[in-house]
Amino acid sequence: MTAVLVTNDDGIDSPGLHVLAAAAIEEGLDVVVAAPWSQSSGSSASITGAEADGRIHMERRTIAGLDVTCFAVRAAPALIALIASHGAFGPAPELVLSGVNRGANIGRAILHSGTVGAALTAGANGSRGLAVSLDVGIDPDVCHWAAAADAARTLLRGLLGAPPGTVLNLNVPNAADAGDRPHRTATLAPFGIVQTTAAEHGEGEVRLTVADLTGEQDPQSDAALLLAGHPTLTSITGIGETAPPDGVSSA
């Protein structure tokens, strides 16, 4: 059976994690769940988590409806993906599923996402990664987790056939039928739904706030397509090499 790790950045108790794991199990994959002990949003590809003695502490958990091995880990999601690649939870996974995140992960702001960071770490270590997020907004009446899991499920077999290192970012509208809507391939918006700005500068401190993006969005961007009600899919890369710009030479 194909080994799959399911993790997230919202923590082991997140319903989004549970429905994503259930979808992978229903596809006949060999699933292990290993997720942060507590909330780790915004952790990017951080590998924090080791205690002073260098150990990473984890605890077996039972999750209702999931008859698979589950761990709560005192570590950021990227570190969980990293140690999984070295056999921490059994065979190294061929696929790491990260999510379902509570809130969209779109635009170049995905650099800061723990959900995306885990998927990118998987790709950097010879696996494949899929980050899955549900666009629930600020205060939703209901979160359609199953719709996001259904949308992810349609991608699993194709992703397992893709080359190692492939990483996809999937965002799903918060609608009951969103899992049945065809996904649209999207570019990354310049930042995200909102942008962080420095509101005030003071003595020894800076106060941050968020502001809506101004101007029109590229209609092919993940931000615009998601706003229009489409699940969006973007193939992303982590660290790589490129040629230096003209006028910059090596020593």
What are the pLDDT digits (tens) for 17-55? 999 999 999 999 999 999 999 877 777 777 777 676 778
- 3-state SS track over 150-187: HHHHCCHHHHHCCCCCCEEEEEEECCCCHHHCCCEECE
Question: Among the ranges 175-179, 192-196, 243-247, which has the highest mean pLDDT value?
Answer: 175-179
Does the pTM surpass 0.85? The reply is yes
Q: Which segments within the chain are labelled E, that is strand?
A: 3-7, 30-36, 58-63, 66-73, 95-102, 128-135, 167-173, 184-185, 194-202, 205-212, 232-236
C-alpha to C-alpha distances, 235 to 33, 73, 128, 186, nearest whole angstrom: 24, 28, 11, 9
pLDDT, residue 194, reads 47
Q: Is residue 131 part of a domain?
A: yes
Q: Is residue 34 part of a domain?
A: yes
Q: What is the CATH number of the domain that holds 175?
A: 3.40.1210.10
pLDDT, residue 240, reads 81
Q: Is residue 244 part of a domain?
A: no
Q: Is residue 211 part of a domain?
A: no
Q: Are 107 and 116 in contact (CB under 8 A)?
A: no
pLDDT band at 233 (very low <50, low <70, confident <90, very high): very high
State the Cα torsion 138-236-132-172 to the nearest 10°. 60
Average pLDDT of the residues in 3-24: 97
Q: Is residue 209 part of a domain?
A: no
Distance CA 147, CA 149 (A): 5
Residue-wise pLDDT for 91-150, tens only, equals: 999 999 999 999 999 999 899 999 999 999 999 999 999 999 999 988 899 999 999 999
Q: Is residue 204 part of a domain?
A: no
Residue-wise pLDDT for 72-91, tens only, equals: 999 999 999 999 999 999 99
Q: Is residue 60 part of a domain?
A: yes
Domain that holds residue 168: 3-189+218-236
Specify the residue for token string 């930042």: 191
Q: Is residue 114 part of a domain?
A: yes
SS3 label, residue 51:
coil
Question: Among the ranges 48-52, 209-213, 236-240, which has the highest mean pLDDT value?
Answer: 236-240
Specify the residue for token string 């259904």: 150
pLDDT, residue 175, reads 98
Number of structural domains the chain divides into: 1
Spatial CA neighbour of 15 closest among 150, 172, 149: 149
